[in-house]
Structure 1
Amino acid sequence: MLRFVLGPLLGQGRHDQALTTSAAGAAPVGPRRRRRGRALGVGAAALSVVLVAAACGGSDDDGGEPAAGGSTGAAAPITLSFSAWPGWFPWQVAEEKGFFEANGVEVDLKYFDSYTDSLNALATGNVDANTQTLNDTIASAAGGAEEVIVLTNDNSTGNDQIIAAPGINSVADLKGKTVAAEQGTVDHYLLLLALQKAGLTESDITFQPLLTDAAAAAFVAGQVDAVGVFAPFTTTALELPGSKPIATSADFPGAIPDHLVVSKELVEKNPAGVQGLVNAWFDTIEWITANKDEAYEIMAKRAGVSVEDYATYDEGTTIFTLEQNLEAFAPGTTDAHLDFQAEKISEFLVSTGLIDEAPALDGLLDDTFVKAVK
């Protein structure tokens, strides 16, 4: 079942986008640029790249040097990648305010215009750490990637939305309608969750796979009846008079958590560096809380939006405190617990054909580092 896995990488519904190797020097990602695509199942495709490279004799780096994720000794910089999502922009603050250095870790921070490319970079060993969803990390594990979740950055609590045209007042009203979303993304996942809750399946609608920006534009132009989008494209979609959200990530608490995910190799070879990243995150969040105006300027600039627009994303993204991290990592039987949510998401991805079989989840969650934060 690779139709969701390979489509994005083979150009089905995606533009080719280059890696921006320096966060400070990158062009901003504004409302007309893709944010975090967040493609479900990309990890398996990325792993296939690794296998092909291995079959061909290893790295295609002409210089013969190991990839960023290939050698992670204590003295080596950790390559950390992130993409455009309100829960991940604090990493830009961490770099600009010196919190990596303050916590004794040297970081090469990379910004990706394409979230999908950042997933591939971690799965292929070209970065040591990445910011990604639980869904995508499970999909990577299903493909054989060895990745470890060491921190929960946030939960999406409203910034992912299903927005409908006038006259459509509930998800049940979508039956027989045309709904656009970027295929394989978590907004597609949100659509499937919402349909399931309403007693429908994807076969009850006409699904139109489009890039998120194109989906929002098609909706405003009246070409589709509803759309699954994330902030800031929610703002675009709601420009259609009378349109409104009929389902959001707030309706499914815990369904879309976002994480700092590192390679298993990094955990094994440089645990002190991983601890430095986690410590730097909480120092950064504490600084942002005390210096919100300056922090918003930094993050809005990175996002390519106004400070005023950036502030509107606050409610829809819940940044996790240390206490919330400890609670999330603790074993439990509710959606607030990552082990329970991981099992639930894994089963859902199998049932909808997004992955072939549920991966073993042993070792996926490591609370060692959040427990060690002072």
Structure 2
Amino acid sequence: MKNTLSKLRKAALATGVAIAVAAVGTVAQAGTLRLGMTTWVGYGPLFLARDLGYFKEGGLDVKLEVIEESALYMAAAAAGELDGSASTVDEIMKYRSKDVCFKSVYALDDSHGGDGVLTPKDVKSLADIKGKEVAMNEGSVSQFWFNILLKQAGLTEKDVKITNMTADDAAAAFMADRIPVAVTWEPHLTLAKKADKGHVLIDSSKTPGLIVDVVAVNCDFIQKNPKDIEALVNGLYKANEFIKSNPEKAYEIMAKGVGGWLSDPKEFAASAAGVNFYGKERNAEFFKGGDEGEAGKLIKLGSEIWGGFGKLKMDIKYDDLVDPSFLAK
């Protein structure tokens, strides 16, 4: 993985875009879909459907590339070196433009306790963090989610002191008493609990439907390969049913596929408790209603927050980011 990232970074520096040739190849074969993503428990169903042969049943070969920087795999998709990505709704919004078109075709999961805010135990509410230093990864889903929390508490980022760190570094700084507040995710929330270090003031189980992972595919690929998208969706439907009927075996397969810090099935199972996997019915619920449905309202939130930070390249509506037509097939 380190070698792959090194090659990707060199390509990005040399050409201005992350053309991930070494990791993903240069030419897509017929019936092949190439997706980039980070290491995250919610992406497990993609590996499960691949390894159980569910995609191939529909004539589709899915190539899954773990690239730990979203900017790199999104740039690779824009350059045509990937056909799409798995990422959060708010994350992909920052890369959508009139020139770079991709749409969500399936919702994988939402964070249900997998993300959280670590604080000292004497902090009882978000109002208590006013004036404190907060470590988080600016420009990531952590900043998006944290700003929603601040808004709900009647605060803004101006009421705290933001220090930009990765989620991992933010957690480490909190554990070392260098930062009083950290916005991070698993496994760090569990590790803090085990060490009896502060407490999780709030986690994403209290904000369902705000941190949602989707599979977003390049518009050209969708238009030219509708049968492949149909096979992708149907394969994920089957994977979700397998998780429900045989979770222990599913976690074993997904842990091996996702790898990294989730390579241990027990670790994967523990992390899976912090997400809700989306199947056929949940996808239908999430994407229905257009601008006024769950997905539409989440996109509006993304526009409000990322637009306020000047992170969007265009005014994004539901139809710009979603193609739900394959969910009904």
Provide TM-score, normalisation by structure 1: 0.76
The equivalent residue for 1:342 is 299
Q: Residues 321 and 185 from structure 1, CA distance in 2 versus in 1: closer, same or farther, beyond 3 angstroms?
A: same
Q: 1:311 aligns with which of 244, 247, 269?
A: 269
Q: Residues 319 and 213 from structure 1, CA distance in 2 versus in 1: closer, same or farther, beyond 3 angstroms?
A: same
Aligned-partner residue type, residue 18 of structure 1:
T
Instruction: Kindly report which structure 2 residues correspond to 1:1-374, keeping only aligned pairs within 5 A, or say none.
Output: 18-19=4-5, 67-68=26-27, 75-142=30-97, 144-301=99-256, 302-305=259-262, 306-331=264-289, 337-355=294-312, 358-372=315-329
Contact preservation (8 Å) 2:87, 2:213: yes
Q: Residues 85 and 143 from structure 1, CA distance in 2 versus in 1: closer, same or farther, beyond 3 angstroms?
A: farther
Output one character per residue of 1:6-59: Cα deviation in whole Å (capped at 9) or x when no partner: xxxxxxxxxx873499xxxxxxxxxxxxxxxxxxxxxxxx9xx99x67xxxxx8
Output one character per residue of 1:324-349: Cα deviation in whole Å (capped at 9) or x when no partner: 11121111676x62122212321222
Output one character per residue of 1:127-163: Cα deviation in whole Å (capped at 9) or x when no partner: 1121011112221114742001100111112211111
Contact preservation (8 Å) 1:100, 1:106: yes
Between stretches 176-185 and 141-150, larger displacement belongs to 141-150
Q: Quick one: distance in 2 between partners of 1:178 and 1:85?
A: 27
Q: For residue 167 of structure 1, give the secondary structure of its aligned residue in structure 2.
A: coil
How far has the Cα of 1:239 moved from its partner? 4.7
Contact preservation (8 Å) 2:291, 2:317: no
Q: Quick one: distance in 1 between partners of 2:172 and 2:98?
A: 33
Output one character per residue of 1:158-209: Cα deviation in whole Å (capped at 9) or x when no partner: 2111111221121111111111111211112222111121111111111111
What is the aligned-residue identity percentage?
27
Contact preservation (8 Å) 1:220, 1:239: no
Q: Residues 60 and 326 from structure 1, CA distance in 2 versus in 1: closer, same or farther, beyond 3 angstroms?
A: closer
How far has the Cα of 1:303 moved from its partner? 4.3
Q: Quick one: distance in 1 between partners of 2:36 and 2:156?
A: 35
Aligned-partner residue type, residue 39 of structure 2:
A
Q: Quick one: distance in 2 between partners of 1:109 and 1:200?
A: 40
Aligned-partner residue type, residue 348 of structure 1:
I
Q: Residues 144 and 227 from structure 1, CA distance in 2 versus in 1: closer, same or farther, beyond 3 angstroms?
A: farther
Q: Quick one: distance in 1 between partners of 2:183 and 2:43?
A: 21
Q: Residues 269 and 143 from structure 1, CA distance in 2 versus in 1: closer, same or farther, beyond 3 angstroms?
A: closer
Q: Quick one: distance in 1 between partners of 2:272 and 2:158?
A: 34
Q: Residues 357 and 150 from structure 1, CA distance in 2 versus in 1: closer, same or farther, beyond 3 angstroms?
A: closer
Aligned-partner residue type, residue 180 of structure 2:
D
Between stretches 343-352 and 258-267, larger displacement belongs to 343-352
How far has the Cα of 1:107 moved from its partner? 2.3
Contact preservation (8 Å) 1:82, 1:111: yes
Q: Quick one: distance in 1 between partners of 2:21 and 2:125?
A: 52
Between stretches 348-357 and 164-173, larger displacement belongs to 348-357
Output one character per residue of 1:249-289: Cα deviation in whole Å (capped at 9) or x when no partner: 22322211110110001011111111111111111122222
Q: Quick one: distance in 2 between partners of 1:173 and 1:180?
A: 16
Contact preservation (8 Å) 1:216, 1:236: no
Q: For residue 214 of structure 2, give the secondary structure of its aligned residue in structure 1.
A: strand
Q: Quick one: distance in 2 between partners of 1:213 and 1:97?
A: 32
Residue ranges of structure 2 left out of the alignment (5+ in a row): none
Contact preservation (8 Å) 2:290, 2:319: no
Q: Residues 19 and 356 from structure 1, CA distance in 2 versus in 1: closer, same or farther, beyond 3 angstroms?
A: closer
Q: Quick one: distance in 1 between partners of 2:296 and 2:102?
A: 15
Contact preservation (8 Å) 1:17, 1:114: no
How far has the Cα of 1:360 moved from its partner? 4.8
Residue ranges of structure 1 left out of the alignment (5+ in a row): 1-15, 22-45, 54-58
Q: For residue 140 of structure 1, give the secondary structure of its aligned residue in structure 2.
A: coil
Aligned-partner residue type, residue 90 of structure 1:
P
